[in-house]
Amino acid sequence: QVQLVESGGGSVQAGGSLKLSCTASRFTYDTYWMGWFRQAPGKEREGVASINSDGVTSFADSVKGRVTISQDNAKNTLYLQMNSLKPEDTAIYYCAARVWASWYHRPPTLDMSDYPLCGQGTQVTVSS
């Protein structure tokens, strides 16, 4: 069974940076989508960034230019580098994944409903 474990969350001041990591255990698939989603108190979960096995990425408008998503396949690890953090970035950040048949090569979405595998989340708090 695939397990996704996030780490790297914490508290930072506005303008600071954080790098989140997501380690996927027993993840041996060649064709997949992986993404970062977040949920702030009282708000719905929203997509932040996603990447597919070809390296194609998608970003939410609210974070474009401030975040990068990357993956280290040798380590089965997904990263989210967040810079110029704002108080509105405060949320629990979740790593999620979906595997596909080998022939399915499409850009990844930012729709959480497309990702059946999800980690427990890591808290990010940005103070002004």
Alpha-carbon span 32 to 106, nearest angstrom = 9
| pLDDT of the residue at 14 | 98
| pLDDT of the residue at 101 | 83
User: Token pair for residue 6?
Assistant: 């996030």
**Along the 128 residues of the chain, how does pLDDT read in single tens digits?**
889 999 999 999 999 999 999 999 888 888 899 999 999 999 999 999 999 999 999 999 999 999 999 999 888 999 999 999 999 999 999 999 999 888 788 999 999 999 999 999 999 999 99
| CA-based R_g, the chain, Å | 14
Establish how many alpha carbons lie within 13 A of residue 114's alpha carbon, considering only the half-sphere containing its beta carbon.
Answer: 18
| pLDDT of the residue at 103 | 78
| CA proximity to 109, closest of 97, 122, 93 | 97
Query: In which residue are the tokens 């596909």 written?
Result: 100
Task: Tell me the CA end-to-end span of the chain in Å, nearest whole number.
Answer: 40
Asked if 126 and 87 count as a contact pair (C-beta separation under 8 A), the reply is yes
Alpha-carbon span 48 to 121, nearest angstrom = 13
Alpha-carbon span 117 to 27, nearest angstrom = 11
| pLDDT of the residue at 1 | 84
| pLDDT of the residue at 26 | 85
User: Token pair for residue 65?
Assistant: 């230019």
